[in-house]
Amino acid sequence: MKILMLLDELEDEIKSAKKMPLTGKSLIDPDYFLERLDRLRAILPEEIEAAKKVLGERDRIFEDARRESMYILDDTRFQAAKLVSDDEITRNAQQMAEEMLNKSKALSEEIRNGANEYAEQLLKYLESVLNESLKSVKQGLKELGEHNSRT
Protein backbone atom coordinates (compact mmCIF):
# COMPACT_ATOMS: atom_id res chain seq x y z
CA MET A 1 0.00 0.00 0.00
CA LYS A 2 3.08 2.19 0.01
CA ILE A 3 2.51 2.64 -3.73
CA LEU A 4 -0.81 4.34 -3.10
CA MET A 5 0.80 6.65 -0.55
CA LEU A 6 3.53 7.64 -3.03
CA LEU A 7 0.97 8.20 -5.78
CA ASP A 8 -1.07 10.35 -3.39
CA GLU A 9 2.07 12.37 -2.59
CA LEU A 10 2.75 12.91 -6.31
CA GLU A 11 -0.85 13.93 -6.89
CA ASP A 12 -0.71 16.38 -3.97
CA GLU A 13 2.57 17.82 -5.33
CA ILE A 14 0.99 18.40 -8.74
CA LYS A 15 -2.11 19.99 -7.21
CA SER A 16 -0.11 22.25 -4.96
CA ALA A 17 2.47 23.17 -7.62
CA LYS A 18 2.87 26.85 -8.44
CA LYS A 19 1.31 27.94 -11.70
CA MET A 20 3.12 29.93 -14.31
CA PRO A 21 1.40 33.19 -14.97
CA LEU A 22 -0.55 33.49 -18.20
CA THR A 23 0.13 29.86 -19.33
CA GLY A 24 -1.66 27.81 -16.64
CA LYS A 25 1.25 25.36 -16.59
CA SER A 26 2.57 24.09 -13.28
CA LEU A 27 6.10 24.25 -12.02
CA ILE A 28 7.18 20.99 -10.46
CA ASP A 29 10.41 19.87 -8.92
CA PRO A 30 11.77 17.15 -11.25
CA ASP A 31 14.13 15.80 -8.57
CA TYR A 32 11.19 15.32 -6.21
CA PHE A 33 9.25 13.45 -8.91
CA LEU A 34 12.22 11.33 -9.98
CA GLU A 35 12.97 10.38 -6.37
CA ARG A 36 9.33 9.35 -5.86
CA LEU A 37 9.35 7.35 -9.13
CA ASP A 38 12.53 5.54 -8.00
CA ARG A 39 10.83 4.69 -4.72
CA LEU A 40 7.79 3.44 -6.69
CA ARG A 41 10.06 1.22 -8.80
CA ALA A 42 11.69 -0.12 -5.64
CA ILE A 43 8.40 -0.75 -3.86
CA LEU A 44 6.56 -2.19 -6.86
CA PRO A 45 8.25 -5.65 -6.77
CA GLU A 46 7.56 -5.89 -3.04
CA GLU A 47 3.92 -5.01 -3.57
CA ILE A 48 3.65 -7.47 -6.47
CA GLU A 49 5.18 -10.24 -4.34
CA ALA A 50 2.81 -9.42 -1.50
CA ALA A 51 -0.11 -9.48 -3.94
CA LYS A 52 1.09 -12.84 -5.31
CA LYS A 53 1.25 -14.20 -1.76
CA VAL A 54 -2.26 -12.94 -1.06
CA LEU A 55 -3.50 -14.51 -4.31
CA GLY A 56 -1.68 -17.75 -3.49
CA GLU A 57 -3.22 -17.79 -0.02
CA ARG A 58 -6.62 -17.04 -1.51
CA ASP A 59 -6.21 -19.92 -3.98
CA ARG A 60 -5.14 -22.23 -1.13
CA ILE A 61 -8.17 -21.19 0.94
CA PHE A 62 -10.47 -21.74 -2.06
CA GLU A 63 -8.90 -25.17 -2.67
CA ASP A 64 -9.30 -26.08 1.01
CA ALA A 65 -12.91 -24.91 0.91
CA ARG A 66 -13.52 -26.88 -2.31
CA ARG A 67 -12.02 -30.03 -0.76
CA GLU A 68 -14.05 -29.53 2.41
CA SER A 69 -17.24 -28.98 0.41
CA MET A 70 -16.50 -32.15 -1.63
CA TYR A 71 -15.95 -34.06 1.62
CA ILE A 72 -19.22 -32.73 3.04
CA LEU A 73 -21.02 -33.49 -0.22
CA ASP A 74 -19.60 -37.03 -0.36
CA ASP A 75 -20.47 -37.58 3.30
CA THR A 76 -23.98 -36.26 2.72
CA ARG A 77 -24.40 -38.58 -0.26
CA PHE A 78 -23.10 -41.50 1.82
CA GLN A 79 -25.48 -40.68 4.68
CA ALA A 80 -28.39 -40.31 2.25
CA ALA A 81 -27.52 -43.63 0.60
CA LYS A 82 -27.23 -45.25 4.02
CA LEU A 83 -30.64 -43.90 5.03
CA VAL A 84 -32.11 -45.14 1.76
CA SER A 85 -30.35 -48.46 2.29
CA ASP A 86 -31.57 -48.68 5.90
CA ASP A 87 -35.07 -47.81 4.74
CA GLU A 88 -34.83 -50.44 2.01
CA ILE A 89 -33.51 -53.01 4.48
CA THR A 90 -36.43 -52.20 6.77
CA ARG A 91 -38.89 -52.53 3.88
CA ASN A 92 -37.30 -55.82 2.81
CA ALA A 93 -37.40 -57.12 6.38
CA GLN A 94 -41.06 -56.14 6.69
CA GLN A 95 -41.82 -57.79 3.37
CA MET A 96 -39.99 -60.96 4.43
CA ALA A 97 -41.81 -60.95 7.77
CA GLU A 98 -45.16 -60.61 5.99
CA GLU A 99 -44.25 -63.45 3.62
CA MET A 100 -43.19 -65.66 6.55
CA LEU A 101 -46.40 -64.81 8.41
CA ASN A 102 -48.49 -65.64 5.33
CA LYS A 103 -46.62 -68.93 4.84
CA SER A 104 -47.06 -69.74 8.53
CA LYS A 105 -50.79 -69.03 8.31
CA ALA A 106 -51.09 -71.17 5.18
CA LEU A 107 -49.11 -74.01 6.79
CA SER A 108 -51.17 -73.72 9.95
CA GLU A 109 -54.39 -73.89 7.91
CA GLU A 110 -53.05 -76.89 5.98
CA ILE A 111 -52.09 -78.67 9.22
CA ARG A 112 -55.48 -77.85 10.76
CA ASN A 113 -57.30 -79.16 7.68
CA GLY A 114 -55.13 -82.30 7.69
CA ALA A 115 -55.78 -82.83 11.40
CA ASN A 116 -59.53 -82.38 10.87
CA GLU A 117 -59.52 -84.88 8.00
CA TYR A 118 -57.54 -87.36 10.09
CA ALA A 119 -59.88 -86.90 13.06
CA GLU A 120 -62.93 -87.36 10.80
CA GLN A 121 -61.46 -90.52 9.26
CA LEU A 122 -60.54 -91.84 12.71
CA LEU A 123 -64.03 -91.12 14.06
CA LYS A 124 -65.65 -92.78 11.03
CA TYR A 125 -63.44 -95.81 11.53
CA LEU A 126 -64.25 -95.84 15.24
CA GLU A 127 -67.96 -95.53 14.37
CA SER A 128 -67.72 -98.49 12.03
CA VAL A 129 -65.81 -100.54 14.64
CA LEU A 130 -68.35 -99.58 17.28
CA ASN A 131 -71.22 -100.45 14.93
CA GLU A 132 -69.64 -103.81 14.28
CA SER A 133 -69.13 -104.26 18.03
CA LEU A 134 -72.74 -103.22 18.66
CA LYS A 135 -73.90 -105.76 16.07
CA SER A 136 -71.80 -108.40 17.78
CA VAL A 137 -73.23 -107.43 21.19
CA LYS A 138 -76.79 -107.55 19.77
CA GLN A 139 -76.05 -110.87 18.15
CA GLY A 140 -74.61 -112.19 21.42
CA LEU A 141 -77.68 -110.99 23.35
CA LYS A 142 -79.97 -112.53 20.78
CA GLU A 143 -78.15 -115.82 20.98
CA LEU A 144 -78.23 -115.72 24.78
CA GLY A 145 -81.89 -114.91 24.69
CA GLU A 146 -82.52 -117.84 22.37
CA HIS A 147 -80.40 -120.13 24.44
CA ASN A 148 -82.22 -119.10 27.64
CA SER A 149 -85.61 -119.58 26.08
CA ARG A 150 -84.72 -123.16 25.10
CA THR A 151 -83.66 -124.20 28.49
Tell me how far apart the alpha carbons of residues 146 and 86 are, in angstroms, rounded to a whole number.
87
The 10s digit of each residue's pLDDT in 68-104 is 999 999 998 888 888 777 777 888 888 998 999 999 8
What confidence score (pLDDT) does residue 90 get?
A: 83
Please report, to the nearest 10 degrees, the dihedral formed by the alpha carbons of residues 43, 44, 48, 54 taken in order.
Answer: 40
Tell me how far apart the alpha carbons of residues 115 and 108 are, in angstroms, rounded to a whole number.
10
Residue 150: pLDDT over 80: no
What confidence score (pLDDT) does residue 72 get?
A: 92
Contact at 8 Å (CB) between 7 and 37?
Answer: no
Residue 1: pLDDT over 80: no
The 10s digit of each residue's pLDDT in 118-133 is 899 989 988 888 988 8
Tell me how far apart the alpha carbons of residues 82 and 37 are, in angstroms, rounded to a whole number.
65
Contact at 8 Å (CB) between 31 and 54?
Answer: no
